[in-house]
Structure 1
Amino acid sequence: MSEKLSEPNDRRVRRTRMALRAALISLLPKRGWDDLSVHEICERANVGRSTFYMHYQSKEQLLADGLGDLRKVLMVEASERRRTSPKTLPFVRGLMEHVYEQRSLFRSLIGRGSGHVVQMRFRQMVLQLVNEELSLHVDQGWERDAASNYISGALVELLGWWVDSRTLRSVEEVEQFFHNLTSTVIRRL
């Protein structure tokens, strides 16, 4: 592989990675994580397996890359919301909107039918988001760590329930419910 091709900002690299992510996103709801193969992802993205492995070591790394991008988007949105919203976890609205817009995808990511690897990666991403947000308000210590785990676990479970139950509850209702549940924990920190 040439040095130029390995640059993440190279247009060809971005295009290939976008095609691989789009393939993963389109196949997950239909196939599920455990049954999905790298071969199927490559077929859908119209790239060869060797091209896939030039960019990613595994489908887990492709998933982590996609979730990493989602995390970055949510943090940017959170910093914008932080200026206008008194809520302590401003990324939650963006995450819930994303989950709502992509319900079938998130049902396969965090619903009952998802694979353990996918759930763990998603949980790690949410934990990082909560921890980063709480670090702006609370000093490091066991209480912040415990609260971050508690809040992120509650959020992931709530989102899983929401996509599995196919409830007609709006983003606003579910977000308000979540903030009502967690506000006591956050105030005690």
Structure 2
Amino acid sequence: MTDSDRRVRRTRRTLQEALTSLVLEKSYERITIQDVLDRADVGRSTFYAHFRDKDALLLACFDDVREELQRDFDGAVEADAIFLHAHRHRRVYKALCGRRIGVGGSVAHLHLKRLIAESVRRQHASSGSDLPADAVAEYRASATLGLLMWWVDTDFREPLERIIRIHQRLASSPVQATVTTGPAAG
């Protein structure tokens, strides 16, 4: 690894941390690139050498988180993975997914929902259900993301173990059982 690579990663991380800390202080819409530059103590040309705009920086904040979450999904039950991951990265989730993010949050929500849906699609493929995988993935991802956003917005008030149990109970309700296993015989 070259010194140049390290500098690039350090600069990107500094800009991401600046945006994250700013979002925790004020809404995303009110944050300007100049605010980020001032917080990160970098110049405008440096910012634009790494990101095209504030939204690109926002998505970059989620890249490392998304890669780690994908690894977690590959090794765990989808619900446990997302809630465990959010708990480990509470500050990032509060900044990227909480109510303070406003319009910018819809971009982060969309990426997170896609990741959850893909995990559900993979799990559904081996379930033997006659329901369309895309429909099941959309339903489960929306429900899981909704509960996750509620948990983030309540400042992770419920303990991790309880939020996982809540999700498992909701996911095992009679309606959910029909989605996962198909309609009951008879």
For Structure 1 versus Structure 2, the TM-score category normalised by the shorter chain is: 0.7 to 0.9
**Alignment of structure 1 residues 17-166 onto 2, 5 Å:** 17-81=12-76, 87=77, 89=78, 92-103=79-90, 105-138=92-125, 143-166=132-155
Structure 1, unpaired ranges of 5+: 82-86
Paired position in structure 1 for 2:7: 12
CA RMSD of aligned residues (A): 2.7
Asked if 2 retains the 8 angstrom alpha-carbon contact of 1:109 and 1:115, the reply is no
- 2:153 paired with 1:168: no
Query: SS of the residue aligned with 1:47?
Result: coil
Paired position in structure 2 for 1:187: 181
Q: Tell me the distance in 2 between the aligned counterparts of 1:49 and 1:167.
A: 36
Q: Tell me the distance in 2 between the aligned counterparts of 1:147 and 1:60.
A: 30
Q: 1:135 to 1:97 in 2, by over 3 A?
A: closer
Range that drifts further, 23-32 or 51-60 = 23-32
Deviation at 1:60?
0.6
Q: Tell me the distance in 2 between the aligned counterparts of 1:104 and 1:45.
A: 18
Percent identity over paired residues: 29
Asked if 2 retains the 8 angstrom alpha-carbon contact of 1:29 and 1:108, the reply is yes
Deviation at 1:178?
1.4
Structure 2, unpaired ranges of 5+: none
Deviation at 1:167?
6.2
What amino acid is aligned across from residue 182 of structure 2 in structure 1?
R
Query: SS of the residue aligned with 2:157?
Result: coil
- In the superposition, the TM-score normalised over structure 1's length comes to 0.77
Deviation at 1:176?
2.2
Range that drifts further, 125-134 or 72-81 = 125-134
Q: Could you list the structure 1 runs, at least 4 aligned residues long, displaced by more than 6 angstroms after superposition.
A: none
Asked if 2 retains the 8 angstrom alpha-carbon contact of 1:109 and 1:119, the reply is no
Q: Could you give the per-residue CA deviations for residues 13-48 of structure 1, whole angstroms, max 9, x where no partner exists?
A: 111001011111111110211111111111111111
Q: Tell me the distance in 2 between the aligned counterparts of 1:69 and 1:80.
A: 17
Count of residue correspondences:
173
